[in-house]
Amino acid sequence: MSWARELLQRATASGRSKDGAKDRAKNSPGRRHLSSGQRPAPARTPSSGLPRPPDLPGAATRAASLCLVSGKGGTGKSFVTANLACLFARRGRTLLIDADLGVGNAHILQGVNPDHTLVDLV
């Protein structure tokens, strides 16, 4: 079992929260109860086998761009962004820009060594 899954299970095992968040979440639309050991089968698109995004009411168009930001370093922005870029690249053309001029490291996470960087452009 991965450490993240174990941590999540420990955090949710008590079933109680001081501010009643669980009670609010229990009544949230789209929430399903799974007993221990059950995992929901992700909906898959027939052509690609990739998980299908959930149907969102009122979402008529797909996003043309996505921006991940945080005011603090070390929060996992590059890690999450690199993994999202890999997922989106399977579905079509994708451009990943690491706009951190100081310690941009998306190229390392993607395993490439670019000839030019955003710093060269600026």
* Sequence spans of domains, the chain: 76-122
What average pLDDT does this structure show over 4-18? 59
**Hey, which residues does 51 pair with through a beta bridge?**
44
Q: What is the pLDDT of residue 31?
A: 54
43 or 121, which is more confident: 121
117 touches 99 (CB < 8 A): no
CA-wise closest residue to 91 among 116, 118, 56, 66 = 66
> Which residues lie closer than 8 Å to 51 by C-beta, 6 or more apart?
42, 43, 44, 45
* CA gap 37, 50 in Å, rounded: 23
- pTM listed for this prediction: 0.45
Radius of gyration from C-alpha coordinates of the chain: 19
88 touches 96 (CB < 8 A): no
* CA gap 92, 114 in Å, rounded: 21
Over the stretch 22-57, which tens digit does the pLDDT of each residue have?
555 555 555 555 555 555 565 555 566 666 666 666
13-17, 46-50, 101-105: which range is least confident on average?
A: 13-17
* CA gap 86, 71 in Å, rounded: 24
Whether the pLDDT of residue 78 is over 60: the answer is: yes
